[in-house]
Structure 1
Amino acid sequence: MDAALPEGDKKNGTMIPMAIIGLLFFIFGFVTWLNGALIPFLQIICHLNEFQAFFVTTAFYFAYFIMAFPMSLVLGKIGYRNGMALGLAIMVAGALLFIPAALAASYPMFLFGLFVLGTGLTILQTASNPYVVLLGPKESAATRISVMGLINKGAGVIVPMVFAALIFSDLGDTSPEALEALTAPELQTLSEKLIMPYLYMAGALAFLIALVRFSPLPHIEPEDEPSIAAGKEKESIFQFPQVVLGALSLFAYVGVEVIAGDSIGLFGKKLGVSHFATLTSYTMVCMTIGYVIGVTCIPKIISQQQALLGSAIAGTLCVMGVVLASTESHSLSLALIGWSGIPTVPNAVMFVALMGLAHALVWPALWPLALDGLGKFTPQGSALLIMGIAGGAVLPPILGALSSSFGDMQPAYWLCLPCYLLIWFYAVKGHKLRAWK
């Protein structure tokens, strides 16, 4: 069983637990945002259309929907520390499955490996997010989650560049046209290049198992306040509107987050952007900036509710920018990043990256609002919110299907508009509801 954290030491005793959880959030980011670079790569070696390519996200994020509640039961039995170690062990197995998948260049095997990786991440996410919320005052919970988000998205900035360097470094011409012209033996060689990165990943995860298993992570219980509304004690997590609506909002948020991070490379590839494999980093940099804003401004300048509302409004504007902006002019990225020497991209692609900035604060702002006042139902509430991550499994393939239907990815991004409007509703009213009427 996890060690208890003395109440008097809560403020001074959180540094090591937060450092350990921060390391896990880096792993979340590294594994999760590798998918953005993996999608156009697998599209090439497995000869996939846009709809088929986005099954990468379906396999990965659907694991959260299927495994969230079972994993919450596991955590109740074995505790946070052992649960995190179990999650890492499952991820080791998922990483190792990429070896036979790469040797066979088998898309179904790649998808199975991604599902296993997602299963391991499910138990880690189910444990770590409420843990960070409960580790300190609820008013600053969004700040703590923002710190974790900075670490997570920092990994997302790094991983596409590492992936591109390991996979494409000796290919010379990596333009979409040159990659499409590779012969079958060349494609097999390209597929086998995935083996070493995932072997390294498995080794790193195995090391983390030992670190987490023998770490001084304290056991933190949810508050014991009675879960009562309208004079009646509640008997089910589904009697808490703020959690149910929060899970739906997270479904919408994760869907657009994954679309912004994982579709940008494919969108850039279709528009002939030569460095399409690293475009996920553009979205991750924008999200990192958003998390910096969260760390510095919540709750000193803006509240968690105001941050959520601002994200919804900004996201709505970005969607309009994606679908209406030019796919040829680079004026927006020239103005924003041209001074830095970073390669520019068409305006529509830049708006996809800016979606990352727009919705960066949704996750850290929504969690404390949704978990507020749950008491003994906090573990179930966390599991329900984690199930919302399934939005990353559902919405990207719909984007891919719309893109294939239209013959153009740009108008398919209208799909994101109702998602931001749902988040808008939750920020204004949904998080305040304590009973169904």
Structure 2
Amino acid sequence: MQDNSKNYTGPLIIIGLLFFVFGFVTWVNGTLISFFKKAFDLSNANSYLVTFAFFISYTVMAIPSSVVLKKVGFKKGMSIGLAIMAIGTFIFVPAAKAESYPLFLAGLFTIGIGLTLLQTASNPYATILGPRESAAQRISILGIANKTAGIISQKVFGGILLAGSVAGVAISPKAELEKVITPYLILTGVLIALAVLIQLTKGLPEVSEEQDGNDASTSAKASVFQFPNLVLGLIALFCYVGVEVIAGDSIISYGISLGFSTEEASQFGTYTLWLMMLGYILGIVLIPKYVSQQTWLKLSSIFGIIITIFALVTTGFTSVLCIAVLGLANAIMWPAIWPLAIDGLGKYTKVGSAWLIMMIAGGAILPYLYGILSDSLKSSQTAYAIMIPLYAFVLYFAMFGYKKKSW
């Protein structure tokens, strides 16, 4: 039993700070896509290697991360994750000096490795630091910290990296790339300081593994893939992460492709994040008192399809705004899909959770496919049609897939 009389304020502030770091590092990718596209004169597809390199690390590292955490513990694992992220951010310095896009991608992949370890370690604290019945509220509040950091990072890095690209102002590629050196050196220092802070924090408890269920229904299963709700949930989560990253990280490049200046377009990503924050707030207020998570997931999927269609048929800033509004549709999908996917897994819950983390690969593969479509169709707008079948699958899972208990 958890001792609810404990004061978890200090540890929760630390975890909130870590979620802030997640958001700051993750949501700057939209700015980097536009920045590298211009600096290296990349195609749409190649510019989305930014998200590919960053998010594919989740697939590569999800299971190894759980092995590392078993050996070193969650607290030390978080410090190691921050240290690996610091190595990744530091790689940006020699990458800028060498004018090497592959080296930048290596830095992003390294940041992703550290972030995978950090997230695998820190997410359980949202559940154990306080009463279990209020865990959903804590997760939503941490989500708000994450998106607030994303808004700040896009404003800060957008102002630094995308400045000076006004018509008539010529900047050499070398000078463009050197813009990353100072902010990424500062970020490296912050990550190292946080790694030390986590290690020195006394009030952060160690996470203990819970007993796995082993009822008759689960012991009769020979594999985690004999649970249809998990398999369909894996696909749904893959689709959801894909549409979230496409909506959040393509909007700046999309704005530029429509003729907006880089300074104007650099702010568009913050609109998506503000609307995601609104979604979190609505979730805190409405779920489960007024609407169930399943119903919210259904409504969000339908809303995503409708808004995507509007983005395809409208023009100019209206179309950009539609892409931003997808942030509202995407906000509560993660916490809604996750419990439905692992329901009834019993002793397979941990391995099922590891597979779900691996589905963050949707943020690597689907934006890259969006980039390929943008190039082949010669239209970033038409390429957004890729999101309609993705939302449609999430809708199928919300209506029927999660109920399926046997093949």
1:27-426 to 2 correspondence within 5 Å? 27-133=21-127, 140-169=134-163, 171=164, 174-175=165-166, 177-178=167-168, 182=170, 186-215=172-201, 216-224=203-211, 226-228=213-215, 230=217, 232-274=219-261, 275-327=264-316, 346-426=317-397
2:23 maps to 1:23? no
Q: Is the 8 A contact 2:345 2:352 kept in 1?
A: yes
Amino acid corresponding to residue 195 of structure 1 in structure 2: I
What is the root-mean-square deviation of aligned Cα atoms in Å? 2.1
Partner of 1:332: none
Amino acid corresponding to residue 243 of structure 2 in structure 1: V
Query: Which runs of 5 or more residues in structure 2 are unaligned?
Result: none
Deviation at residue 168 of structure 1 after TM alignment? 4.6
**Secondary structure of 1:306's partner?**
helix
Question: Residues 419, 140 of structure 1: CA spacing in aligned structure 2 closer, same or farther, 3 A cutoff?
Answer: farther
Deviation at residue 225 of structure 1 after TM alignment? 5.0
What is the CA–CA distance in structure 2 between the aligned matches of 1:212 and 1:376, rounded to whole Å? 31
Q: Is the 8 A contact 1:222 1:376 kept in 2?
A: no
| Percent identity between the two aligned chains | 46
What is the CA–CA distance in structure 1 between the aligned matches of 2:84 and 2:192, rounded to whole Å? 10
What is the CA–CA distance in structure 2 between the aligned matches of 1:144 and 1:430, rounded to whole Å? 27
Deviation at residue 86 of structure 1 after TM alignment? 1.1
**Secondary structure of 2:136's partner?**
helix
Question: Residues 8, 145 of structure 1: CA spacing in aligned structure 2 closer, same or farther, 3 A cutoff?
Answer: closer
Q: TM-score normalized by structure 1?
A: 0.87
Give the number of aligned pairs. 404
Amino acid corresponding to residue 145 of structure 1 in structure 2: I
Q: Is the 8 A contact 1:72 1:380 kept in 2?
A: no
Amino acid corresponding to residue 240 of structure 1 in structure 2: F
Question: Residues 413, 37 of structure 1: CA spacing in aligned structure 2 closer, same or farther, 3 A cutoff?
Answer: same
Q: Is the 8 A contact 2:35 2:162 kept in 1?
A: no
What is the CA–CA distance in structure 2 between the aligned matches of 1:280 and 1:371, rounded to whole Å? 32
Amino acid corresponding to residue 113 of structure 2 in structure 1: T
What is the CA–CA distance in structure 2 between the aligned matches of 1:231 and 1:34, rounded to whole Å? 42
CA-to-aligned-CA distance 1:101-158 (integer Å, 9 cap, x gap):
1112211111110000011111122223344245566654433221111111111111
**Secondary structure of 2:213's partner?**
coil
What is the CA–CA distance in structure 2 between the aligned matches of 1:320 and 1:94, rounded to whole Å? 38
Question: Residues 63, 146 of structure 1: CA spacing in aligned structure 2 closer, same or farther, 3 A cutoff?
Answer: same
Q: Is the 8 A contact 1:80 1:127 kept in 2?
A: yes
**Secondary structure of 1:197's partner?**
helix
What is the CA–CA distance in structure 1 between the aligned matches of 2:323 and 2:308, rounded to whole Å? 8
Q: Is the 8 A contact 1:286 1:354 kept in 2?
A: yes
Amino acid corresponding to residue 60 of structure 1 in structure 2: F
